[in-house]
Structure 1
Amino acid sequence: MANSPDVEEPTTEYPAVPGGAEPVPPAEPGAPAESPERRPSFFARLLIFVGVVFALIVASCFGLRALNVLPSFDNPFSDRTVDRSQPVLLQSMRDLHRYVAADGTFQVIVDLQQNRENIPDFLVNRRILFVGSGTVEAYVDFGALTGDALKVDNEKKTIELTLPPPQQSTAALDMAKSYVVEEDRGLLTSIGDAFRSDTDKQQRVYQMAQEKITEAARGSGLDQRAQQNTQLMLESLFTRLGYTSVKVTFTTP
């Protein structure tokens, strides 16, 4: 059949659209392409399941432990202290004839610095600030009494005592109340301490605190307090024994 000259033939460049189908709009420039929906892999789902189960188990254990249903388990990585000290050995024993009539508690701040001349302190320097607390006792030694130190008159109910003057003990540091406030060390000093341990320096600080407290106690009036307390103690003691007159005299040092 011959084509009519008035009807145009379909072009080969643009194929015909089937009847009844809507044309697809062209994609906008720059719009992301649609990707197909991706589901989690089997391994990912397995990890999520294991994590949820583990969290439930841990929460259950803590809950049962809080209710004291489960026994307690010690931390396998906790700190451990082992005491390997040897038994205490008694070295000596002695009888004391002293009467401790008074004691005083003192505190001193020791500021000790050791450095080198012509060398900066940031290289070679050691400065320790130490707070020392110690106790000094004042006592009367009854073991030094002579035969004529005690005069007793049973008829008149009088007694006379001549005692030596009070003495003071060396200060005893209380390590529970003594502590190092600050310790500054130079660079080279710190390096040297890393390879050797010098306990003499720390012992020197303790000794200085002990000496300073002992010296301060000499002029603190502790001897006078000990003398008064000793006299009051002896007067009360012999008065209860029936003596009407008790005279206590202290010799001069």
Structure 2
Amino acid sequence: MRTALKVALSAVAGGLAIVLVIAALSVGGLLTNPFQSRTTDRSQPALLKSIQNISQYHAAVGNFEVVLDIEKDIRWVPDFVVGERSLFVAAGTVNAYVDFSGLSEDDLTLSGDGQSVKVRLPEAQLDEPNLDQDRTYLFSQERGVVNRVNDALSARDQSGLYELAEDKLEAAAKKSELTKRAEENTKAMLVGMFGSLDIEATFVDAEE
């Protein structure tokens, strides 16, 4: 029994000595470390599924940032047992655009002498928020004992935080002057385009 134990200890010591020698040689630059981690990318190449023509003029971009402070708990149960509080930092952009696809001949009225044109533009619209993954992250999270046990048994799902962040950015964009700026920039672009043709552009309200 003692002999077997000595043999086992000798084997472990010998293996450890080999690892230490290899590590020392690697640090000294005499040998490439055979235990270096490596990453193998076996992903399939991206495939183009479809191409769509667009008729939108993206005239303004808003940059937004929000810090979510979300707490979930159960009434009458201490937070250190069951509970969760998350601080989530989200940053992203929202594009404002004018869609020209619905314009008809009635929306462009050229004067008889061809020197002026009246344009009726549709209202600017907002794209869905585009979160910047480099600036969007979970800053901190406090979790109860039960929550931490659940984390050990299953992957943590943060999709709800991302969805809430997008909703917050969208709401902020709607309250901002982003669409107004997009309409102003669109008009300025058209004035310049028609001006290069020696045509003066004026604009009428969509209701007229």
Band of TM-score, shorter chain: 0.7 to 0.9
Whether 1:183 aligns to 2:141 is yes
Residue aligning to 2:85: 127
1:249 equivalenced with 2:204 (yes/no)? yes
Relative contact order, higher structure (CA 8 A, sep 6+): 2
CA distance in 1, matches of 2:51, 2:107: 27
Partner of 1:19: none
Partner of 2:126: 168
Q: Is the 8 A contact 1:165 1:250 kept in 2?
A: no
1:133, 1:211 → 2: CA distance? 12
Distance 1:156 1:188, change over 3 A: closer
Q: Unpaired runs of 5+ in structure 1?
A: 1-57, 66-71
Superposed, 1:151-230 pairs within 5 Å as 151-153=109-111, 155-199=113-157, 202-230=158-186
Please give the per-residue CA displacement for 1:193-238, whole angstroms capped at 9, x wherever unaligned.
1011242xx1000000000000011111111111111111000000
CA-based RMSD of the aligned residues comes to 2.1
Q: Which runs of 4+ in 1 moved over 4 A?
A: none
Larger radius of gyration: 1
- Out of 196, 200, 208, the residue aligned to residue 240 of structure 1 is 196
Q: Percent identity?
A: 36
Tell me, in whole angstroms, the C-alpha distance in 1 between the residues paired with 2:73 and 2:40.
39
AA in 2 matched with 1:248:
F
- For 2:144 and 2:41, the matched residues in 1 are separated by 35
TM-fit CA distance, 1:82:
1.8
Look up the SS of the partner of 1:84 in the other structure. coil
Please give the secondary structure, in 2, of the residue aligned with 1:121: coil
Tell me the TM-score normalised to structure 2 length. 0.82
Task: Specify every segment of 5 or more residues in structure 2 that has no aligned partner in the other structure, as ranges.
Answer: 1-23
Alpha-carbon deviation of 1:73? 4.4
CA distance in 1, matches of 2:140, 2:39: 27
SS in 1 for 2:146: helix
3-state SS, counterpart of residue 165 of structure 1: coil
